[in-house]
Chains A and B, each alone.
Chain A
Amino acid sequence: DGGITQSPKYLFRKEGQNVTLSCEQNLNHDAMYWYRQDPGQGLRLIYYSQIVNDFQKGDIAEGYSVSREKKESFPLTVTSAQKNPTAFYLCASSTWTLSGDEKLFFGSGTQLSVL
């Protein structure tokens, strides 16, 4: 079945440590996105990528980094510069244009907590 796979489901980070969240899709979608969700809040865009080897900052990119070496994969690294990383992280993908019947497909998320 086609879909988006995020791993791990739960992740713990120590102070000063970088951690990487995995996101893989087999929907043949061009665009991929990372969102952060805090309790009682909506989703906020961290980074997005429309094509391989290209990505753009979203609203809250500071303290995060991404890469897009393959169409299927869009890993997110939470760096030590991100001082408040505890949140639920959602990866999504879509076709190139997001309108009409097109929509975001989401993974099941990764809960990141600081030890």
Chain B
Amino acid sequence: AQKITQTQPGMFVQEKEAVTLDCTYDTSDPSYGLFWYKQPSSGEMIFLIYQGSYDQQNATEGRYSLNFQKARKSANLVISASQLGDSAMYFCAILLGGYSGAGSYQLTFGKGTKLSVIP
């Protein structure tokens, strides 16, 4: 079964500094997608960035980039120039590719990392 591991329960970063949130995954499926979501205290999950297993380039979305190291099975999220509004829970998730016939497109989430940005 696929598995997502986020080893950092909590992280602190100074405002305007960059921070890396770790994510490792375990799957033998060659086709998969990796997602990062942000969950502020309001509870809503906000999509940040996506990386496909066959993508040659690391994904970037504004201040967010994904350090994808396929051989190491890691997909770390890098947030540049941290802002106070970045304080939130961050979740990494994996989606296995391929249509199983049962229509089972399921995201498996890690336990999350709580990021606190210090003024």
Contact B91 A42 (CB under 8 A): yes
Contact B43 A109 (CB under 8 A): yes
Asked if A26 is at the interface (CB within 8 A of a chain B CB), the reply is no
With a 10 A CB-CB cut-off, give which of A51, A90, A100, A103 has the most chain B CB atoms: A103
Contact B47 A98 (CB under 8 A): no
Contact B109 A109 (CB under 8 A): no
Select from chain B the residue with minimum beta-carbon distance to A3.
Answer: B44
Q: Interface residue count for B (Cβ, 8 Å)?
A: 27
Asked if B105 is at the interface (CB within 8 A of a chain A CB), the reply is yes
Residues in chain A near residue B91, CB distance under 8 A: 42-43
CA distance A94 to B104 in the complex (A): 13
B90 to chain A, nearest CB (A): 11
Select from chain A the residue with minimum beta-carbon distance to B9.
Answer: A40
B38 to chain A, nearest CB (A): 11
Select from chain B the residue with minimum beta-carbon distance to A43.
Answer: B109
Q: Interface residue count for A (Cβ, 8 Å)?
A: 30
Contact B45 A99 (CB under 8 A): no
The residue from A31, A56, A94, A104 contacting B45, defined by CB atoms under 8 A apart: A104
A66 to chain B, nearest CB (A): 15
CA distance A85 to B97 in the complex (A): 31
Asked if B42 is at the interface (CB within 8 A of a chain A CB), the reply is yes
Asked if B102 is at the interface (CB within 8 A of a chain A CB), the reply is yes
Residues in chain B near residue A64, CB distance under 8 A: none
Asked if A41 is at the interface (CB within 8 A of a chain B CB), the reply is yes
Asked if A58 is at the interface (CB within 8 A of a chain B CB), the reply is yes
Name the interface residues of B10-58: CB closer than 8 Å to any CB of A.
33, 35, 37, 42-47, 50, 52
Q: 12 extra interchain contacts, Cβ-Cβ under 8 A, other than A90-B45, A104-B47?
A: A43-B45, A43-B91, A50-B103, A51-B103, A56-B104, A58-B106, A97-B105, A98-B105, A100-B33, A103-B50, A104-B45, A106-B37
Which B residues have a C-beta under 8 Å from some C-beta of A? Answer: 4, 9, 33, 35, 37, 42-47, 50, 52, 91, 93, 95, 97, 102-107, 109-112
Q: 9 shortest A-B CB distances, which residue pairs?
A: A42-B109, A106-B45, A50-B103, A109-B43, A98-B105, A43-B109, A103-B47, A108-B44, A42-B111
